[in-house]
Amino acid sequence: MTVTQSFIDGESVASAELYDNIDPATGRSLGPVARAGSDEVDRAVAAARAASTRWRDTTPSARATLLTGIADLIDQNHQRLARMESEDTGKPLTQARADATVAARYFRFYGHAIDSYYGQTIPLSTDLHVYTRREPFGVTGHIIAWNYPMQLLARAVAPAIAVGNCAVVKPADETPRTAVELARLAVEAGLPTGVFNVVTGIGAEAGAELAAHSDVDHLGFVGSTQIGSVVAHAAADRVVPTTLELGGKSPQIVFPDAHLGRAAESIVKAILQNAGQTCSAGSRLLVHDSVHDTLVEMVCQLLLLATIGPGIEDYDLGPLISRKQQHRVQSMISANVKGEILCGGEPPADTRLADGAYFAPTVIADVDPASPIAQEEIFGPVLTINRFLGEDDAIRLANGTQYGLLGAVWTSDLSRAHRLAAEIRAGQVYVNTYGAGGGVELPFGGYRKSGYGREKGYEALDTFTATKTVVVRL
């Protein structure tokens, strides 16, 4: 089998140790991966630093051409990248294809955006000319989660290099292959070597080395709140700016005047997507008491129709990322002291799936809002349900966790929709739809323990630059 190795300064770099990349659908190895350590991280950061000045001074129009060229190559390799992503993550092939499409879209979007990214002039007085410059930090470090490897990498790297930074990426242990391939394609598109580097390996080793590295000027992390806190501490020790996109426990609030059929379809899609392994999954359903039974029945019926199997065969629901995650989901459900399991609650009984990390779509009604299963991120296809009687009750439940990433309101009353959108503590709020993070153009990030900073959209260009103010007496 081919060894997946770090890609540094335009070259494949071996490591002294290897580990196996496990297919979550079968439990078998997809091939060995280089287990990089401090030497490889040092080499990657040094390569980024060496390329930094030349890349910073490259004209925005030249950078734009290179980024759109990367997007073109991703599109040309769409099917191959999607297959890798499906094998690594277990997600259905259709979803992996969508991830490849969106990854290309990030590079194209920021390739176009950088052409119109300007500073400002400030009319302070007639004898002073005051203007601002947006300048790159230099070397940016990106620690990427395993649930959307291509999308998360592209949404971090594309804006970072668009504004003139050079990037070092540490992909998740479980999903390293597409990161390396995207870095190769970038060089093939003409991106100077050293601008985009990938270090494979274990998070507690290579990831920790990157987070603590003294020559990294900005850190980005996507993953659990617990590890995000560790990364933030490492950055704080060096007074380095950080962007954290962490966990979520996003509510979907359904009022009696909502279109229940549309709501049910969207709710099901939001919890089935990537087997519920999405920070922005709509994992809490809050339903007005008068329509509770009707909507819950509709949701359960749709979930029971979902097909389950290997992602590469494009079923509705693939496996979880690992046996470890499967056991975690099972233990959280088993520990649920209150709540009726209406469907699922365990791995599927199909013996053909016994070797994979599968878990059946699960609905748990009338959970205790204070219980761990209602408060903590499960990261599986598990939907918890609570009833409410009025707006105040709905807002209290919606804001009743430590997270604040997304929320949704389903109602025909637009005045109510705007009231709740203002009251829900979340970085994105949807009305009569649910985007699970939304499009490339939409700023994305959380409140409270869902993290801080914003990615995506035009705001990401500000995230990866510092403002310099210049004052000239005339």
Active-site residues, by number, are: 245, 279
The residue with tokens 């007005």 is: 288
Whole-number Å distance between alpha carbons of 386 and 289: 9
Report strand pairing: 29-34 vs 139-143.
Answer: unpaired
CA-based nearest residue to 315, from 272, 254, 373, 255: 272
- How many other CB atoms sit within 10 Å of the CB of residue 319? 30
Residue 469 phi/psi, 5-degree rounding, is: -105, 130
CA-based nearest residue to 222, from 291, 268, 155, 281: 155
Whole-number Å distance between alpha carbons of 296 and 292: 6
Report strand pairing: 166-170 vs 139-143.
Answer: parallel
Whole-number Å distance between alpha carbons of 62 and 472: 30
State which amino acid sits at residue 315: Y
Whole-number Å distance between alpha carbons of 81 and 86: 9
Which residues, 6+ apart, have CB-to-CB distance to 52 below 8 Å?
A: 136, 138, 139, 165, 166
